[in-house]
Amino acid sequence: MGMFWIAIVLVVAIILGNLMILLRTAKKPKIPDSVKPKPHKDDDENW
């Protein structure tokens, strides 16, 4: 019965670890307000 509990704990630890990694990588970096998009040279050209 002891191996059963070890397997359960291992599965839960792996799932929680994967969730933490996913949450960490899903956070988007905040772009400062001072950063503005630069206009391209060809923006005014007609297609």
Q: Output the DSSP codes for 21-43.
A: HHHHHHPPPPPPTT--PPPPGGG
**Any idea what DSSP says for residue 44?**
G
- Note the pLDDT tens digit of each residue in 11-44: 999 999 999 998 887 776 777 788 887 777 766 6
What is the model's pLDDT at position 24? Answer: 84
pTM score above 0.75: no
SS3 state of residue 45: coil
